[in-house]
Amino acid sequence: MSWFGHHHHNQPAPPASGPNQVFKIFCRANENYCLAVRDGAVVLAPVNPKDDHQHWYKDMRFSTRVKDEEGMPAFALVNKATGLAIKHSLGTEIVLWKWCEGDNQRWKILPW
């Protein structure tokens, strides 16, 4: 999912995640908001570590077989509370914007 960005080879690798590791996903422009699921949609919500709808885990099931163009393993981001995964499909609107190197275009995925 390119709108989250991805790891580049000239940067340190993120810490390895165990099967029960949960993550928060936030935008560098304002770390007081995390991605959350609300009414079946992905939104930015005020940070709340107790809100399982803001907790995500990485499903690495296909990581040994599927790699991106830089050789990094594929993974799915799955919401802990709903079991729903972020994905794109035909007809789903995903907002794209010219890369301006803005903080509102830089995403972080960090352990809670």
Per-residue pLDDT of 71-95, as tens digits, reads 888 888 999 999 998 876 666 666 6
Residue-by-residue DSSP string for the chain? -GGG----TTSPPPPP--TT--EEEEETTEEEEEEEEETTEEEEEE--TT-GGG-EEEE-TTTTT-B-TTSPBP-EEEETTT--B----TT-----------GGG-EEEEE-
Domain assignments of the chain as residue spans, ordered by start: 17-107
pLDDT, one tens digit per residue, over 34-77 is 999 999 888 999 999 999 999 999 988 888 888 888 888 888 89
pTM for this model (two decimals): 0.69
